[in-house]
A and B are shown apart, each in its own frame.
Chain A
Amino acid sequence: MAALDNTEVRDGVDRETVETVQAMGGKYKYGWETEIEMDYAPKGVNPDIVKLISSKNEEPEWMTEWRLAAYERWAQLDEPTWAMVHYPPIDYQDQYYYARPKSMDVKPKSLDEVDPKLLATYEKLGIPLKEQMILAGVEGAEDAPAEGRKVAVDAVFDSVSVGTTFQAELKKAGVIFCSISEAIREHPELVKKYLGSVVPVSDNYFATLNSAVFSDGSFVYVPPGVRCPMELSTYFRINAENTGQFERTLIIADKGSYVSYLEGCTAPSRDTTQLHAAVVEIVALEDAEVKYSTVQNWFPGDENGKGGIFNFVTKRADCRGDRSKVMWTQVETGSAVTWKYPSCILRGEESQGEFYSIAITNNYQQADTGTKMVHLGKNTKSRIVSKGISAGKAQNTYRGLVSMHPKAKNSRNYTQCDSLLIGSECGAHTVPYIEVRNNSSRVEHEATTSKVDDDQLFYCRQRGMDEEEAVALVVNGFCRDVLQALPMEFAMEAQQLVAISLEGSVG
């Protein structure tokens, strides 16, 4: 992180924060490449490629048709330009849309049959694909009881899912956790019913492209009343050059169920950019709760802004049932360009949506990220907490929508977004949209540290702290709260992030 070494940091910015940002954006740890023989589909995207991907996944005809319709639609769309990100035009015909390790030609029946090179790759990333192993790098994990450590992993390598762990154990609980290609074959009724029901095929340019060419991803179904016995996770690895990754995730939480889902992603360091356009759809039925956590650590490009992943992601949750709840937590530290707005449609009465985000950009990284909370049902609640940190020559934008529809009576939103700039050449921006269409709902958007809870402040001051100290304590405590919302598996990253304070923040 040469860019930060000579940066003059102004008063009020915690030195520890700067060091943490330095450490996090320092040497990219996951930049190595696995040498493995790959099968590629021809470069470019057209109906034949779409059909080829569909046939590689042994999909039924309805799925192929669905993809082709998406392709037709995409061909008519223009790439959006409204985000505060700038990048050279992407040549969509100069990419591989399908890349699969040769050894995956015949689908391995169990993890034992998986190419050791692939297993080694994940092991090196700290993601063990053997069920008895504990996750590497998590402090204190060794002492945790065995039960608490279990995490089922679906490992996606370029265009295919390499394997999914703990499937049998999950099956006992009735939980379906598999790759989406497997789900299309094995559970077509569920896929047919829910795929594209949250993010329609024509939703936006990147989602439409994804609908046409997605190659793999994860599928989760939690049956009514089941609390998923372990954390589920998907680890996405881009390895092949000039290859776009287009994964699709579909999570269905049936009535009264609960699931916590983690997502991680890395890619080798290269000086050419690579495209990643994913779609995540979550359906939460009555009383269901879904926790979705991401640590996005795609290769961010080097310190001169060369290379990196272009990350265009559409993530949306539909809180369809009454009292359903979805919580998005994201830590965004990677990618050269991030374009990502995990959202909640609060359709069910008393449903809840939460969004916690920490986005760190450095060098020439650009992030335009935020959320949409669309309140349709009565008594719905949403909460948005976003912390953006920008260093070097990076640009960090929070973009969000809070919409209260006329029928969403007595709903509530609270939004707080803080930004911190380290150095004089970066930028931090806030673009919130607030639409209130009934008067029994309350919407608050704020972006100042002085607006911390007055009672808490009063309490601290009563005990002899000066105002600044009190504010710092409350804000830091709050930040910690957000980080503690992350599952333990992300503890490594989280432990570093806790050192970040936002004392010098601007709205």
Chain B
Amino acid sequence: MALPQPKTDTLAARLSGLDLPGDSGCLKVAREDALARLQATGLPARRDEYWKYTRPETLTAPEVVPAALLSDRDTPVFDDIDRVRVVFVDGVFDAEASDDLTLAGVTIERLADVDARDIHWAKDLYGVLETRGQTPVSRPLAALNTAFATDGLVIHATGKAARPVAFEYLHRNETSDAHLHHVIKVDSGADVTVLEDGPAAARFNKVMEVDVASGGTFHHVRAQGRDHERRAATHIFARLGEGSVFKTFTLTMNGVLTRNDCVVELTGDNAVAHVAGACVGDGDFHHDDTVFITHDAVACESRQVFKKVLRNGATGVFQGKILVKQGAQKTDGYQISQSLLLDDDSQFLAKPELEIYADDVACSHGSTSGAIDEEGLFYLRSRGVPESEATDLMTLAFLAEAIEEIEDQALADDILERLQAWMARRRRD
């Protein structure tokens, strides 16, 4: 057996040839700090507790494993929604393909432009929530991102956004290695929805920092593209003020490796955080949802709803944690993770954790795994529904609880439609 490589070696290899971008801009200090954090923790390795079920090697190696481009491109998921389109091609902002970035209630800027300036509000947020999210569990890929991300958007919502902001991530280069970093600030009483769609790159590392002030509202719906060989490590770091609302939903269809970290801190009383995800995996597919929700204020509510449908050897991972700090009384925490294994080769690995230091709380979690309900299947077939269709119907019903977490019906319909298309395609294959 080969001995595991020391962490310092892997890190040195990864960093060789990488230079910190922007030598004088306002984000310089944040980037240097991030690099120091990364050097202190090293890159993730299999023996790290939160990388037990997901192999990080292809995400940390200096070289990108090439990812073939999909021949039958999907139309953007949210095509029917009136939105501000922001297009990134292999992690680089494409101004021509994007809409005009003027939007009532919201200021949208490019990270590169912000970085070139001496003073900007984003300086007080860039890397700040990521740093907070490094304890108690380190997230080295996020620190790597903060240090080296060259592009991304800086969004400031000051009122109710007239339209959602939609990021479209196009993948056109088989060996692209993209780092995108978005910073989103939602002012008190402001309300903005961010949509994300597309495979982004052969290897994609994304950080999104979301700071929601008291009474602010942030909605996020994303569909991670189905380019089969793409690899992605994404992170959301959110901080919620008093009475604010944060809701995120992710649909993942295929992709050889996806690791989605979501770190939410409820710091103001009565804040609400919902984190949901549905994933369908077929064959060589590994999908990992790692969620960490910290209750640090009174009477906050958090919900985690994750559903995974797996077949032909696909692997689904869920690592979710609710941490209720001392004094965070009247917390309402809920967490459910369920998998539907459509055949004997697929696997579901879960670690649904609770860590509670307050006595007046209602926290519950559940986790189940099993095959499709034979009785339900039989019922549908006895009514003349062909087996494959019946399986799809049952699968959709299983995923429904997660999709229902999307508040906006039009967005939920788009997600459902995309899922149905995916299933129809599988049925044909």
Contacts and interface: CB of A to CB of B under 8 A. Distances in A.
Interface string A385-409: 0000000000000000000001001
Interface stretch (A19-27, A315-323, A436-444): A436-444
Interface stretch (B184-192, B194-202, B340-348, B393-401): B340-348
A444 B368 contact: yes
A92 interface: no
A438 B344 contact: yes
A423 interface: yes
Interface string A418-434: 01011111111111111
Interface string A201-220: 00000000000000000000
B58 interface: no
B347 A506 contact: no
A435 interface: yes
Nearest to B359: A421
Nearest to A448: B364
A500 B228 CA distance: 54
B319 to A, nearest CB: 10
A445 interface: yes
Interface string B321-358: 00000110100000000010111111111111111111
Contacts of B362: 506
A424 B368 contact: no
Interface string B354-379: 11111111111111111100000000
Interface in A332-366: none
Nearest to B360: A10
Given A424-B359, A439-B343, A507 B353 contact: no
Nearest to A8: B359
B429 interface: no
A439 B356 contact: no
B358 A434 contact: no
Given A429-B355, A434-B349, A447-B354, A506 B363 contact: yes
A424 B370 contact: no
Contacts of A62: none
B367 to A, nearest CB: 4
A58 interface: no
Contacts of A429: 353-356
B347 A437 contact: yes
A422 B356 CA distance: 12
Nearest to A10: B360
Contact of A507 (B329, B342, B354, B357): B354
Nearest to B321: A431
A427 B367 contact: no
Nearest to A11: B360
A87 interface: no
B96 interface: no
B349 A430 contact: no
Interface residues of A, number: 38
Contact of A445 (B326, B346, B352): B352
Contacts of B339: 436
Interface hub of B329, B357, B359, B366 (most chain A Cβ within 10 A): B359
B363 A507 contact: yes
Contacts of A419: 354, 356
Nearest to B322: A507
A451 interface: yes
A507 B364 contact: yes
A506 B352 contact: no
A319 B361 CA distance: 39
B366 A439 contact: no
Contacts of B345: 406
Contact of B344 (A82, A422, A439, A450): A439
A446 interface: yes
A446 B349 contact: no
A148 to B, nearest CB: 41
Contacts of A421: 356, 358-359
Given A82-B49, A436-B339, A430 B369 contact: no
A422 to B, nearest CB: 7
Contacts of A444: 366-368
Contacts of A436: 339, 341, 347-349, 369
B243 to A, nearest CB: 24
Contact of B365 (A10, A409, A441, A447): A447
Given A424-B358, A427-B356, A439 B370 contact: yes
A79 to B, nearest CB: 16
B218 to A, nearest CB: 27
A492 B360 CA distance: 31
Counting chain B CB atoms within 10 Å of each CB, the highest count among A82, A437, A440 belongs to: A437
A426 B326 CA distance: 9
Interface in A1-51: 10
B366 A445 contact: yes
B340 to A, nearest CB: 8
A426 B356 CA distance: 8
Contacts of B341: 436, 438-439
A196 to B, nearest CB: 23
A425 B325 CA distance: 10
Contact of A434 (B342, B344, B346, B348): B348
B353 A430 contact: yes
Given A424-B326, A432-B351, A436-B339, A443 B356 contact: no
Contacts of A425: 326
Of all A-B residue pairs in the complex, the 5 with the closest CB atoms, nearest first, are A439-B341, A421-B359, A448-B364, A507-B364, A436-B369
13 contacts: A421-B356, A422-B359, A424-B326, A424-B358, A424-B359, A433-B351, A434-B348, A436-B347, A439-B341, A439-B371, A443-B367, A444-B368, A507-B354
Interface of B: 49, 326-327, 329, 339, 341-371
Given A433-B350, A434-B350, A435-B350, 7 more contacts: A419-B356, A433-B351, A434-B352, A439-B370, A442-B371, A447-B365, A507-B366
